[in-house]
Amino acid sequence: MESFTFIDLFAGIGGFHHALKSIGGQCVMTCEIDKECGKIYRNSFPDAGTNYKFIENIRNITRFNSEEESSLRTRKEIDDLVPDHDVLCGGFPCQPFSKSGSQHGVRDQTRGTLFYDILQIVEAKRPKYIFLENVRNLAGPRHKDTWSTVISSIRSLEYSVSEGPLIFSPHLLDPSLGGAPQVRERVFIVCVRKDVDEGNVQRICEFNNYLRLGAFYKIDDWDVRKYISDDIDVPDLEKYSVTNDEATYLEAWDYFVREFPGDTLPGFPIWAFAFTECPQIDDEMPEWKRSFLRKNSDFYSQNKDFLDRFLTLEWGMKKLNVLQFPYSRQILEWQAKKKHPTSKTRTLRDLVIQFRPSGIRVKPPSYLPALVAITQTSVLGPLLRKGARTYRKLTPVEAARLQGIPDWIYQSEWVSDKAAYKQLGNAVNVGIVRYAFGVFLGHMDFPTKPTKSETLQLFAD
């Protein structure tokens, strides 16, 4: 593949760097303000800060005083500070834009935000390509004006960019191409300078529509067991085990799913506190809550003998019944019907679990929810690991695998586990960056292109 240079803005732990380096990219400048992320980045790429610039604050480039909004540098001054590069990439923070700037021009609406700093660098350096990433909601209905401002601002600098967002997740990509069993939808903004190659735009248009046709990897074919370690290979194993209280909640609900006499468990959230013959509904309740209360009352009436017995059982060292659990732990969200369609093998012990504010959610081990903060780190059933007896949380090394980050980076104690989960929850997935940008450059393709009738014209100048 032809080599190219790039700068890595809002670099985090280096997801873009890992991806672009693997397809011939050479980093010439990095920018990351978080010191804990900086530790990981510098250890991952020892040249950072020695052979090329490592800038902590992007506003040290775009301003004389990073704290002073009016101290903007000129285009020439920024040009002198930033190395020449082919690609500007980064996962920029999403900040609200001002409506008051609209009377002065679309880019004025972005003043005071970090996206404006990106535009300053683009305007000064004129890279061939811009490749940005953000959360899925940036392209959602609540942020319609923000999305429009982002796209219009980039176009005002004479770049071709999509009207519709490119939304991609690693669980949609074949493992041979760098996919991973994690549902992590992100929006990518891929842009090409108008004098370079309009073909890049059409390739992403086709790619976008290909995704919309659902013609990628079959998500039920994933097996998370290929991405997790056996407990014997996990240092300090005990710190990843669930708490005694969490083990108690899982023991009770495992009994429930194993012993429930019917083949089918409800698809709606199972609320133990709502096991009454008459639903406790008041006029102030939203309709969704009324509906769940009615459904749980009907479920109770149909299975009264079993559920009455279940509610009297005591669990754990504290000898608690289910109605003495915290409110959210009295709720089971059973989403594992594909793994256990009947009662014969039904258990929580071979499933993926999340302790959520909305309840205990259980899913098949085919793919994991998006990595988030440590409080919602996925829990792995013991039957998913050889010789395991207890439930435990995903380790930072395993979470890194789901992001395409090499094992060794989180095998050393450079950062705490709390910081590691936060970093990985905010990171860009290496596999989808590599693949999406490879398609954009024309180096990679997808198996079957959509027909002309299926291709929507999402891109415009």
What span, in angstroms and rounded, lies between the C-alpha atoms of 390 and 393? 10
Does residue 320 have a pLDDT over 60? Answer: yes
Q: How far apart are CA 316 and CA 254, in angstroms?
A: 13
pLDDT on residue 114: 86
Check residue 87 and give its pLDDT.
Answer: 95
Q: Could you tell me what percent of the chain has a pLDDT over 70?
A: 87
Mean per-residue pLDDT, 347-361: 95
Average pLDDT over residues 18-44: 93
List, for residues 103-125, the tens digit of each pLDDT value: 445 555 666 678 889 999 999 99
The whole-number average pLDDT for the span 240-263 is 96
Is residue 75 domain-shared with residue 104, that is, in the same domain?
Answer: yes
pLDDT of 454 above 80 = no
When pLDDT is cut at 50, 70 and 90, the band that residue 96 belongs to is low
Q: Which of 174, 170, 166 is nearest to 184 (CA)?
A: 170
Calculate mean pLDDT across residues 150-173.
85
Residue 411: inside a domain, yes or no?
no
Which pLDDT score is estimated for 111? 61
Q: pTM for this structure? A: 0.86
- How far is CA 167 from each of CA 19, 136, 161, 207, rounded to the nearest angstrom? 18, 7, 14, 10
Say what the pLDDT of residue 163 is. 67
Judgement on whether residues 387 and 434 belong to the same structural domain of the protein: no
Residue 11 shares a structural domain with residue 53: yes
Average per-residue pLDDT in the chain? 86
pLDDT score of 100 more than 50:
no
Under a CB-based contact definition with an 8 Å cutoff, are residues 91 and 130 in contact? no
What's the pLDDT score for residue 138? 81
| Cα 20 to Cα 17: distance, rounded to the nearest angstrom | 5
* Residues 329 and 200 grouped into a single domain: no
Identify the pLDDT of residue 243: 95
At 453 the pLDDT is 38
- Range with the lowest mean pLDDT among 204-213, 231-240, 275-284, 414-423? 204-213
Q: Any long-range contacts for 45-54 (C-beta under 8 Å, 24+ apart)? A: 45/14, 45/17, 52/27, 52/28, 52/83, 53/28, 53/29, 53/83, 54/29, 54/30
Q: Please name the residue that has the structure tokens 């900086």.
A: 38
Domain identity same for 14 and 58? yes
Asked whether residue 247 falls in the same domain as residue 206, the answer is no
Same domain? 101 vs 208: yes
Which is nearest to 457 in space by CA: 202, 144, 104, 255?
A: 202
User: Which position has the higher pLDDT, 108 or 234?
Assistant: 234
Domain end call among 370, 394, 418: 394
Residue 410 resides in a domain:
no
Residues 244, 218, single domain; the answer is: no
214 and 319 housed in the same domain: no
Short-list 48, 43, 73, CA closest to 58: 73
Per-residue confidence (pLDDT) for residue 452, from 0 to 100: 39
Query: What is the bridge-based pairing of β-strands 87-90 and 4-9?
Result: parallel
What domain range includes position 17? 4-222+429-460
Where residue 461 falls among pLDDT bands split at 50, 70, 90? very low
Return the pLDDT at 324: 98
The whole-angstrom separation of Cα 415 and Cα 276 is 49
- The Cα 173–Cα 184 span in angstroms is 11
Return d(Cα 454, Cα 208) in angstroms, integer.
Answer: 11
Residue 25 has pLDDT above 90, yes or no: yes
The total domain count for the chain is 2
Confidence tier at 174 by pLDDT (50, 70, 90): confident
- Do residues 234 and 378 make contact, with C-beta atoms less than 8 angstroms apart? no
Q: Is the pLDDT of residue 213 over 60?
A: no
Q: How much is the average pLDDT of 22-41?
A: 93
456 pLDDT higher than 70: no
Check which CATH number belongs to the domain holding 438 and give it. Answer: 3.40.50.150
* Same-domain status, 21 and 132: yes
pLDDT given for residue 199 in this prediction:
65
Q: Is 89 a catalytic residue?
A: no
User: In this model, does residue 312 exceed pLDDT 90?
Assistant: yes
pLDDT score of 102: 45
Interior CA angle at 324 toward 334 and 344, to 5°? 30
Same domain, 316 and 236: yes
On the question of pLDDT at 318 being above 60, the answer is yes
Which one from 94, 191, 205, 278 is the annotated catalytic residue? 94
Q: Are residues 92 and 234 both part of a single domain?
A: no
Give the model's pLDDT for residue 105: 53
Q: Residue range 144-157: average pLDDT?
A: 86
Q: Look up residue 337 and give its amino acid.
A: K
Query: Residue 235: CB partners within 8 Å, gap ≥ 6?
Result: none
Q: Which has more confidence, 312 or 426?
A: 312
Over residues 240-251, the mean pLDDT reads: 96
